[in-house]
Amino acid sequence: MSATKDVLLNDIRIGAPLALRDRVRLTLLLSGPAILAQLASVLLQFIDASMVGSLGAGPSASIGLVSTSTWLCNGFCIALAQGFSVQVAHRIGAGDFFGARQVLRQGIVSVALFSLALSLIAIGIAGPLPHWLGGEEAIRADGTAYFRIYACFLPMMQLGFFASTMLQCSGEMKLPSLLNILMCVLDVIFNFLLIFPTREVRLFGADITLPGAGMGVRGAALGTGLAETIVAILILYFLLVRNRNLAIAGEPGSFRPQRDCLKKAFGITGPMWLQNLVMRGAYVMSTLIVAPLGAVSIAANSFAIIAESFCYMPGYGMGDAATTLVGQSLGAERKDLARAFSRVTLALGIGIMVALAVVMFFLAAPIMRLLSADPDVVALGARCLRLEAFAEAGYAAAIVANGALVGAGDTKVPAALNLISVWIVRIGLALVLTPRLGLMGYWIAMCIELNVRGLFYLLRVHGNRWMEHNLTKTEIPYESH
């Protein structure tokens, strides 16, 4: 199977024709591991959340308070990594493996310096952050501790993001996916050992002593950080030493970032940073809109979002495949193939998410009962899920098309589309509908917005301008060894 994938990727670079069957096969080969990793990640995050939740409402609230801030930092890190990985995908598509490794070297230094600066800033604001976010006095200390520990591990997390995107853009999807699953498993194990104190449990009729550090919220942050560090080291090893196309171990070359490479990287990354701010800001605004509805609505909203993630996470796996395939096709100067791959990934992504939406529609209540024992929460959450099933086709179009656009280096227009769609359509409608219809009003607004956003993205990829970015031409020669 791996040989087939490598052969088909090489066909892109040498200009060989790819029949529809081959395009579908290659898309599935690349997206399959990423989809499984996304689903495993969601499942294990549920288990992880339940561990913290067992400590009580306070610890859960302290992590939830700073979670949007960690998402914001993660968004900046992922966007910067893609600024370099998209360039590498284009160079690999053009057969310029030496140039790809030069971009890789410059990227390592750039992301390391950026993540170190971001880490120091995050550590510096960890103390007042819970207060700025309006957290109650009782949960501020845990919120500060969690965010500070998270910030200390941020450089390793950034390098892990970087190495993963580099492997993916080269066509190696299975290894990053398997390591992502490993990270989730390690996270659960470390949290199990660090969050809870040493305790006695009865298993199969015998009393067993389970060791534990009893660190509570701090243990949750430390466990996640340790898991990220171990996996980052592993994935960097496979990238820098073992990867056939991108390994730089033993090869002379300059690590000094150069103007042309940085200009292209930040040309891709800058709009993605803006998009990150737009989306995270909208999430905060959505919380402010839903919060006055009361505890039942807040819980139903939170659990429904968690349940829906099983439906849309496969779309992100297909979007990763679209980024790689479009990037390498355009690097090989095959716009026709890039367009063909954008259509194949869109069709498959929409098909998968629509199928899952049907399942979600009919099993909405049983799914909610897995997350909550409150009948009011289950009933309201189930209604939200059934409504949201009608948005998954549009959401799939937006997710996969965005992956294709990123692969082309076209990130400015998507940032503008998200700004209009989320802030004008979703937030605007939510402000009108939520006070009148309660939580269902907010989800109606979200359903409409996701379909509008999907239409925006489909119109963008239908044209030609998104494929006009040249990321392989070097204005300033790369410094040789």
DSSP SS3 for 171: coil
DSSP SS3 for 141: helix
Q: Which residues does residue 209 pair with via DSSP β-bridges, in sequence order?
A: 200
Bigger pLDDT: 384 vs 17: 384
Residues contacting 156, CB < 8 A, separation 6+: 225, 228, 229, 232, 233
Alpha-carbon separation of residue 436 from 109, 214, 236, 280, 444 (angstroms): 52, 46, 52, 25, 12
The span from the CA of 408 to the CA of 396, in Å, is 19
User: What pLDDT is attached to residue 61?
Assistant: 65
Q: What would the pLDDT profile of 5-46 be if each residue is shown by its tens digit?
A: 778 888 888 888 889 998 999 888 888 877 777 776 666 656
What's the mean pLDDT in 434-439? 93
What's the mean pLDDT in 330-354? 93
pLDDT of residue 114 exceeding 50: yes
The span from the CA of 406 to the CA of 466, in Å, is 9
User: What pLDDT is attached to residue 276?
Assistant: 76
User: What pLDDT is attached to residue 361?
Assistant: 95
Bigger pLDDT: 116 vs 69: 116
What's the mean pLDDT in 123-149? 86
Residues contacting 339, CB < 8 A, separation 6+: 461, 467
Bigger pLDDT: 46 vs 55: 55
Structure tokens at 221: 């942050």
The span from the CA of 257 to the CA of 43, in Å, is 39
pLDDT of residue 143 exceeding 80: yes
The span from the CA of 430 to the CA of 285, in Å, is 10
Q: What would the pLDDT profile of 201-225 be if each residue is shown by its tens digit?
A: 776 677 788 888 888 889 988 998 9
What's the mean pLDDT in 363-368? 91
Bigger pLDDT: 459 vs 69: 459
User: What pLDDT is attached to residue 86?
Assistant: 86
What's the mean pLDDT in 382-389? 95
The span from the CA of 380 to the CA of 358, in Å, is 18
Structure tokens at 236: 């960097």
Structure tokens at 153: 């591990």
Check: CB of residue 401 under 8 Å from CB of residue 461.
Answer: yes
Look at the chain and count its residues.
481
User: What pLDDT is attached to residue 203?
Assistant: 67
User: What pLDDT is attached to residue 473?
Assistant: 55
User: What pLDDT is attached to residue 288?
Assistant: 75
Check: CB of residue 395 under 8 Å from CB of residue 454.
Answer: yes
User: What pLDDT is attached to residue 9?
Assistant: 83
Q: How confident is the model at residue 474 (pLDDT cuts 50, 70, 90)?
A: very low
Check: CB of residue 218 under 8 Å from CB of residue 145.
Answer: yes
In the predicted model, what is the mean pLDDT of the chain?
85
Check: CB of residue 366 under 8 Å from CB of residue 424.
Answer: no
Pairing of strands 206-213, 197-203: antiparallel
User: What pLDDT is attached to residue 43?
Assistant: 65
The span from the CA of 371 to the CA of 299, in Å, is 10
User: What pLDDT is attached to residue 5?
Assistant: 78
Check: CB of residue 417 under 8 Å from CB of residue 456.
Answer: yes
User: What pLDDT is attached to residue 322?
Assistant: 92
User: What pLDDT is attached to residue 53?
Assistant: 61
Poorest-pLDDT segment among 73-77, 143-147, 286-290, 381-385: 286-290
Check: CB of residue 338 under 8 Å from CB of residue 326.
Answer: yes
